A and B are shown apart, each in its own frame.
Chain A
Amino acid sequence: MASNQSRFRAAHGAARPMIVRTMTLAVALTLCSAALSVRAQVVTAQEAADLSGSWDSPATNDVLERDEGPFTDDFVGMPLNAAGRALAASYSADMLAEPERVCQLYDQWHYSNSVFNLRIWPVTGGPTGTIQAWKLQPTEDNGGMTIWMDGRSPPSQYADHLRGAFTTGHWKGDMLIAVTTGMKRAPARDNGAFHSDESIMTSTFIPHDDMLTIVYVLHDPVYMTAPYVYSRTYVRSVTRPIATQYPPCIVNFEGTSEGTVPFFPPGKNPLMTQMMEFFHVPEYASAGGADTMYPEFRDRLKAQYLKLYPTFPKKCTQYCTNFRFQQAVGNLPQPVEGPAAKPGRRGAKSGS
């Protein structure tokens, strides 16, 4: 039995191959171009810098920020203005016992100055499964960060500022640049140096091999005179997957009397001498300011510091290492020989 194909050939003779060839070529070219365009998309998706995974924060830099957090009067290198400095000196950690402020530490800048391991993963959506956002979750009880990549507009400047704020991102090469607005006023360091709710934070994610360096920049027109730049490097964790969720910060009652705000009046904070006591750093340096972050500041320190140096203990006595038995264990206050430690870095009770 003759097929339709044979009948078509018999009826149309030599004209048929030309038509078929032309149609076939057109179909082939269409399919080829479709195939190439699919290939290009796949290549883009595969080759884009993949930030996803679990990231460990090695205990080798910013060691004094770990565990207990910074010393009470450690504002060195912070470009604080007079208002920022005064606010920082009045800060009492007792304030965190107030229900209104229990969660105050956990804003978006907290990623930069606290030492977390991180989990990062993409959120895909739409008909082509494109990446609409990147999510970050630190190993602590704050709500994480969502970096929107879908071009959405930020909320109105009159909208409420939230702890989660609002972050959008874009790529430059394989660096992801994220800009956060709508932040709440919160401590820029755990020792009470604040940033204002007018701050804008820029985070640049720089992947290299199995490492990720994140550069955080805080622009605060209220409490700072220059950008506050903080960077932190993470190493890809291959053995310890980090969860995508942690318990949220929960507001509770911790016994603070109603109607009181713990703080220190000017000049009454008893913990403003720790940097001198432990590290021999004079107050004009520990109080911060933009000049303390540049090499030229060493000229101002040199004479006084070198004069004091011969009086230092010949062997470090406190906060000398954060490693024990070859394991990172936080910033160790031991050994205890030598001058007695203050009752915790943030331990002093304030007046109310």
Chain B
Amino acid sequence: MRTFLSNCAARLALALLVSLGAATLVHAQGRRGPGGPPPPAEAAAPVDFTGYWRSVVQDEDWVYRMVTPRPGDYAGVPLKPAGMQVMDAWDPAKDTAAGEQCKSYGAPAIMRVPEHLHITWQDDQTLKMETDAGEQTRLFHFVPSMADEHGPRTWQGYSVAQWQLQSQGGRFFGGGKPAWAALKVTTTDLKAGYLRKNGVPYSENARLVEYFDLVQIPPENDGQWWMVLTSVVTDPVYLFTPFVTDDNFQKLSSAEGWEPSACSAMW
């Protein structure tokens, strides 16, 4: 009896191993082999961020976004005393004279500026986002370049992007097609600028993490596409906690309303 049971157990174990091995093989077919070129980011995700978008400002931060906030108003920003000093010294005329009127259009602030966006693929590994307000261009690199990564600091910094692939009801681990995806973008190498038009500062040590999601409103198939952005700015110099915000954009069917305007230090 014992022999029969042990034989049976051995066969069962063998069959399990063979089955799991086959399952693993099938699972692995969805991924690239070691050493191969990375798959094009453009084709890797089941979502499409390209097109024209416009900000929709319905939240209570309207008075900090749609108009130039009052001098010294930093409500909602966890500003350190060092940041208050910079804010109190805000002088838009001086910024303009110094050619720094784009200080409130840097990556940590630009998505809160009421504006239109135009998103396209620059190449199959780089997503390009242009803004009409301030005429800024952001590049989201799915395959970071070591050469570019440590270039000079700029208003838009250097952004590394990755898809957060999802299966239905959870994370995606490969095999088959993902059901959905979000876009995560991490930006560093920033030139110091303003979180708000009235001189509330971020330093060049700031780091920006953004999550872009697409939702349909209403959720039925004929709903309009919206882009939901969750942003986290961390800055050890001027902020004592992360500055967390969320913003919404509505997809447009055309370039209507796209009106490029130069940076302004005052409006």
Contact = CB atoms under 8 A, between A and B. Distances in A.
Contacts of B213: 175, 206, 213
Contact of B59 (A48, A77, A174, A314): A77
A156 interface: no
A346 interface: no
Contact of A4 (B1, B54, B55, B58): B1
Interface stretch (A95-103, A222-230, A236-244): A222-230
Contact of B169 (A25, A174, A231, A281): A174
B255 interface: no
Interface string B160-187: 0000101111110100001111101000
Nearest to A235: B244
B63 to A, nearest CB: 5
Given A36-B23, A61-B246, A231-B246, A202 B217 contact: yes
Interface string A51-73: 00000001111111100001000
Interface residues of A, number: 88
Interface stretch (A84-92, A137-145, A260-268, A289-297): A289-297
B68 A173 contact: no
A32 B59 contact: no
Interface in A1-40: 3-5, 20-21, 24-25, 27-29, 31-33, 35-36
A271 interface: no
B166 A173 contact: yes
B169 A63 contact: no
Interface string A290-333: 00111111100110011001001111100111110010100100
A228 B115 CA distance: 19
A179 to B, nearest CB: 7
Nearest to B70: A316
B76 A60 contact: yes
A236 B133 CA distance: 34
B134 to A, nearest CB: 12
A177 interface: yes
Contacts of B70: 279-280, 312-313, 316, 320
B180 A24 contact: no
A179 B220 CA distance: 11
B124 interface: no
Interface stretch (B8-16, B29-37, B140-148): B8-16
Give the dominant DSSP class at A's interface: mixed
Nearest to B228: A215
B73 interface: yes
Contacts of B247: 231
B71 A315 contact: yes
B60 A315 contact: no
Interface string A182-205: 000000000000000000101010
A53 to B, nearest CB: 16
B219 A177 contact: yes
A3 B2 CA distance: 10
A298 B114 contact: yes
A180 B178 CA distance: 28
Nearest to B239: A60
A144 to B, nearest CB: 22
B72 interface: yes
Given A24-B8, A233-B230, A77 B57 contact: yes
A220 B88 CA distance: 43
A172 B217 contact: no
B241 A58 contact: yes
B234 to A, nearest CB: 12
A128 interface: no
Return the 10 tightest CB-CB contacts between A and B, nearest first: A173-B180, A316-B72, A173-B166, A47-B170, A63-B76, A295-B114, A28-B15, A77-B58, A62-B60, A171-B169
Interface of B: 1, 3-4, 7-8, 11-12, 14-16, 19-20, 23, 54-63, 66-68, 70-80, 88, 114-116, 133, 164, 166-171, 173, 178-182, 184, 211, 213, 215, 217-219, 226, 228, 230, 232, 240-248, 257, 266-267
Given A279-B63, A292-B62, 4 more contacts: A173-B167, A173-B169, A233-B245, A298-B267
